[in-house]
C-alpha cells in the first residue's frame, strides 16, 4: 500500500523526507532571482540508487481566497507554458533525476496584495516511501513592479522593483526606449524602439519569461510601437509600423502567441495608445481617417466592426482607460470631444461625450481608473480650478491634487508624467521627474513614485531609476517562506 508524502510549501531551499532511506527529496528555491514572474517551481528529485515510478501527484491550496490567486500546473491544467508540465503520473525517475511541480499566481482585478496561505503537495510512488514526515511551507502572494522607459540602470530601459530592491531583467533592451509593457500568456511583453535584447536581435518587441528575453516571432517593422493591450485572448500592438512578422499591416497588429496577423484599416496616421474591455478594443492616436470614414483620433472595434466615436476629438489622443463599468476615458492634446468643450480629457459613456469638469490646462499623457476614481497625468499644472502639479484625481464630480504632485527639481517646467498604474490603494506614477511633494516637504523620487491613497502621501521606490519611465506594470509573484 502506497504511503503519501505530504509537503506544505514555501521558502526553504531543501526539504527532506527522511534522510538515509528517503526516496524523494522535494525543495522550493527561495532565490528571488528565480521567481519566474508569477511562476514558482518545486522540484521532486529521486535521491535513491534505484528508479522510482510516480503513481500520483495531487495538490491542495488553502484557504479558499488563496485558491483564487494560485493555480497548480500539471498536465491537465490550462497553464500557458508547456515547460511547466514535467511531473506526470507514470513517470519513472532515475537516480538524481528531477521533475517539477509549478505554481503560478493569477492576476486578479483588482490585484490583492499580501495574501497568505499554504500549499499541500502529495506525491505517491508505486513503491512505499520509507518516511511520511511532513514538511510545512507558507505561501505569500505579493506584487512586483516592472518599469520600462529610457534609463541605463539597473538594466537597460527595463527593471523590476520587488518591494525591497531594484533588479535587472537580463542586460535589458538595447537601441531605444521601452514605451509599453503588458502581461500575456505568462510572460512580460515590452515594445518600443529597441532592437536588441540580451545581445540578441529583436524587432521592437520582446517577451521576458522570468529568466530570458525572447523574440516575438519576427517582431514588427520600423519605427516600432507605442501601445500594447490584451483583447479576447490575443495581444494587440499599435504604433507606426507597416508590417508584423511577414504580414503587411497598417499601424495595428495581432499576436496569438504563435503567429502575427495584420490589419488594413486604411488609417492615415499612427496609433499612440490601445485599451480594451471584454467586448471592445479602442485605438487612439494621430489618425483622422479609417478607410473612407472619418475617425478623428479615436475608433472602436466591437463584434468585428470598426466605427468612430461620434465625430471623435479635435487633436491627438495620448491616453485611454476603461473603468469597471465600461466607461472610456480619453486624454490628449484636444480641447473638444464631439460637440462639447473638453480640455485635454473627456469620457465616452452611453454613446455620448462628456467633460470632466473644466478639465486640465495642458496635455494629458497617462490615465488610470479604479472604481469611481480617475487618475490623470501629463504636462498640466492645474486641474479644474485647483493647482495640480502634473498629476491629479477626478472622483466623478470634482478634481483633487495629489498633495504637491511631482516635479523635475532642476528644470520644473520640463516635468512630465507618462505612466499611471493602480494597485489596490497604491497609485504608481512614472515619468520625467525627480521629486514628489508631500505636505511636509519634498522627497527624492527618481522618475517613479508611489502615491498611498490611504495615507495621502508620496513614497519613493528605493533610489528609483536613472532616466524617464514610460510604462509601469504590476504583476503577481509568489514568495516562499519557511513556517
Question: What pLDDT score does 83 carry?
Answer: 47
pLDDT of amino acid 174: 97
Location of C-alpha cell 545581445 = 199
* Predicted pLDDT at 24: 82
- For the cut 60, the answer to whether the pLDDT of residue 84 exceeds it is no
Q: Give me the residue label for grid cell 526516496.
A: 23
Is the confidence at residue 191, as pLDDT, over 80? Answer: yes
User: Which helix or strand (DSSP H or E) is residue 213 part of?
Assistant: strand 213-215
Identify the DSSP state of 83.
G
- The residue that leads in pLDDT, 210 or 398, is 398
- Residue 19 has a pLDDT of 39
- Work out the burial of residue 473: count CB atoms within 10 Å of its CB; fewer than 13 is exposed, 13-18 middle, 19 or more buried: buried
421, 472 contact by CB (below 8 A):
yes
pLDDT at residue 326 tops 60:
yes
Q: Which has more confidence, 394 or 13?
A: 394
**Could you confirm whether domain 144-476 is CATH 2.130.10.10?**
yes
Is the confidence at residue 169, as pLDDT, over 80? Answer: yes
pLDDT at site 413: 93
Q: Beta-carbon neighbour count of residue 257 at 10 Å?
A: 15
Residue 153 has pLDDT above 50, yes or no: yes
Average confidence (pLDDT) over 153-170: 93
Mean local confidence (pLDDT), 292-304: 92
Are the C-beta atoms of 392 and 376 separated by less than 8 Å? yes
Q: What is the mean pLDDT of residues 173-202?
A: 94
Work out the mean pLDDT of the chain and round it to a whole number.
Answer: 87
pLDDT at 6 over 60: no
Task: Give pLDDT, residue 131.
Answer: 47
| Average pLDDT of the segment spanning 248-257 | 96
pLDDT in tens, 213-247: 999 999 999 999 999 999 999 999 999 999 999 99
How many residues does this entry show for the chain? 483
Q: Residue ranges of the domains in the chain?
A: 5-133, 144-476
Q: What pLDDT shows up at residue 158?
A: 97
- Per CATH, domain 5-133 is 2.60.40: yes
* Greatest CA separation for the chain: 80
Q: Of the given ranges (137-151, 185-199, 213-227, 426-440), which has the lowest mean pLDDT? A: 137-151
Residue 414 — φ and ψ, nearest 5°?
-95, 5
Among the listed ranges 87-101, 215-229, 355-369, 412-426, which one has the minimum average pLDDT value?
87-101
Q: What is the pLDDT of residue 368?
A: 98
Instruction: Please give the pLDDT value at position 12.
Output: 28
The mean pLDDT of 408-437, rounded to a whole number, is: 96
Rounded to a whole number of angstroms, the distance between the first and last alpha carbons of the chain is 30
Exposed/middle/buried for 104, CB within 10 Å: 0-12, 13-18, 19+? buried
380-404: per-residue pLDDT in tens? Answer: 999 999 999 999 999 999 999 999 9
Q: Which of 368, 363, 403, 364 is nearest to 387 (CA)?
A: 403
Instruction: Produce one character per residue of 48-87: b if its CB has 16 or more CB atoms within 10 Å, e if not.
Output: beeebebeebebebeeeebeebbbbbbeeeebebeebbbb
Q: Is the pLDDT at 354 greater than 90, yes or no?
A: yes
Is 66 in a helix, a strand, or coil?
helix
Beta strands in 224-363 (DSSP E): 225-231, 234-239, 243-244, 247-248, 252-255, 260-262, 271-276, 280-285, 289-290, 293-294, 298-302, 305-308, 317-322, 328-332, 336-337, 340-341, 345-349, 352-355
Per mean pLDDT, which range of 74-83, 101-110, 302-311 is the poorest? 74-83
Check: CB of residue 335 under 8 Å from CB of residue 363. no
Give CA 124 to chain center in angstroms: 37
Is the pLDDT reported for residue 286 higher than 50?
Answer: yes
Written as nine digits, the cell of 140 is: 505569500
Among 31-40, 105-114, 177-186, 455-464, the range with the most confident prediction by mean pLDDT is 455-464
pLDDT exceeds 50 at position 310: yes
pLDDT, average across residues 441-455: 97
What is the reported pLDDT for 304? 87
What share of residues in the chain are helix, strand, coil (percent, to 5)? 5, 55, 45
User: Comparing 71 with 297, which gets the higher pLDDT?
Assistant: 297
pLDDT in tens, 46-64: 888 889 888 887 777 888 7
pLDDT, residue 14, reads 33
Q: 5-14, 146-155, 470-479: which range is least confident on average?
A: 5-14
Identify the residue with better confidence: 383 or 40.
Answer: 383
371 has a pLDDT exceeding 90: no
pLDDT of residue 360 exceeding 90: yes
For residues 426-436, average pLDDT: 97
Of 419, 421, 420, nearest to 475 (Cα)? Answer: 421
**How do residues 102-136 score in pLDDT, each as one tens digit?**
777 776 655 565 677 887 777 888 876 554 444 56
CA distance 378 to 289: 26
Which residues have CB under 8 Å from 145's CB, separation 6+? 160, 161, 428, 461, 472, 473, 474
User: Do the bridges between strand 135-149 and strand 5-8 make them parallel or antiparallel, or are there none, so unpaired?
Assistant: parallel
Amino acid at each position: 500500500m502506497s504511503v503519501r508524502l505530504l509537503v506544505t510549501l514555501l521558502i526553504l531551499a531543501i526539504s527532506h523526507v527522511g534522510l538515509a532511506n528517503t526516496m524523494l527529496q522535494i525543495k522550493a528555491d527561495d532565490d528571488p532571482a528565480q521567481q519566474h514572474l508569477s511562476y514558482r517551481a518545486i522540484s521532486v528529485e529521486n535521491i535513491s540508487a534505484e528508479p522510482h515510478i510516480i503513481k500520483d501527484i495531487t495538490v491542495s491550496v488553502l484557504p479558499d481566497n488563496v485558491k483564487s490567486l494560485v493555480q497548480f500546473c500539471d498536465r491537465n491544467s490550462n497553464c500557458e507554458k508547456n515547460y511547466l508540465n514535467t511531473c506526470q503520473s507514470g513517470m519513472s525517475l532515475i537516480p538524481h533525476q528531477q521533475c517539477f511541480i509549478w505554481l503560478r499566481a493569477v492576476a486578479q482585478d483588482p490585484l490583492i496584495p499580501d495574501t497568505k496561505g499554504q500549499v499541500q503537495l502529495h506525491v505517491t510512488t508505486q513503491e512505499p516511501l520509507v518516511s511520511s514526515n511532513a514538511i510545512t511551507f507558507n505561501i505569500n502572494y505579493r506584487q512586483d513592479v516592472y518599469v520600462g522607459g529610457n534609463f541605463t540602470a539597473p538594466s537597460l530601459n527595463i527593471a523590476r522593483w520587488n518591494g525591497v530592491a531594484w533588479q535587472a531583467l537580463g542586460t535589458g533592451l538595447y537601441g531605444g526606449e521601452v514605451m509599453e509593457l503588458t502581461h500575456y500568456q505568462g510572460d512580460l511583453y515590452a515594445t518600443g524602439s529597441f532592437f536588441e535584447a540580451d545581445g540578441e536581435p529583436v524587432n521592437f518587441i520582446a517577451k521576458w519569461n522570468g529568466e530570458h528575453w525572447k523574440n516575438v516571432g519576427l517582431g514588427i517593422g520600423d519605427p516600432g510601437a507605442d501601445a500594447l493591450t490584451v483583447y479576447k485572448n490575443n495581444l494587440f500592438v499599435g504604433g507606426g509600423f507597416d508590417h508584423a512578422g511577414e504580414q503587411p499591416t497598417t499601424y495595428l497588429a495581432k499576436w496569438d502567441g504563435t503567429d502575427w496577423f495584420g490589419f488594413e484599416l486604411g488609417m492615415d496616421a499612427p496609433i499612440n495608445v490601445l485599451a480594451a474591455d471584454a467586448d471592445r478594443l479602442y485605438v487612439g492616436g494621430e489618425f483622422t481617417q479609417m478607410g473612407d470614414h472619418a475617425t478623428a483620433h479615436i475608433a472602436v472595434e466591437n463584434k468585428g466592426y470598426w466605427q468612430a466615436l461620434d465625430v471623435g476629438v479635435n487633436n491627438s489622443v495620448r491616453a485611454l482607460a476603461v473603468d469597471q463599468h465600461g466607461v472610456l476615458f480619453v486624454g490628449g492634446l484636444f480641447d473638444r470631444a464631439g460637440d462639447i468643450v473638453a480640455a485635454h480629457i473627456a469620457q465616452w459613456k452611453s454613446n455620448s461625450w462628456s467633460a470632466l469638469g473644466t478639465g486640465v490646462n495642458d496635455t494629458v499623457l497617462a490615465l488610470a481608473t479604479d472604481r469611481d476614481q480617475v487618475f490623470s497625468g501629463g504636462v498640466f499644472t492645474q486641474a479644474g480650478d485647483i493647482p495640480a502639479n502634473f498629476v491629479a484625481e477626478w472622483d466623478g464630480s470634482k478634481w483633487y491634487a495629489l498633495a504637491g504632485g511631482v516635479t523635475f527639481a532642476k528644470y520644473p517646467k520640463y516635468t512630465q508624467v507618462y505612466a499611471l498604474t493602480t494597485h489596490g490603494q497604491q497609485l504608481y506614477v512614472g515619468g520625467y521627474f525627480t521629486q514628489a511633494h508631500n505636505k511636509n516637504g519634498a522627497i527624492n523620487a527618481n522618475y517613479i513614485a508611489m502615491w498611498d491613497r490611504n495615507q495621502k502621501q508620496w513614497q519613493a521606490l528605493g533610489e528609483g531609476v536613472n532616466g524617464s519611465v514610460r510604462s509601469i506594470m504590476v504583476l503577481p509573484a509568489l514568495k516562499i517562506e519557511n513556517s
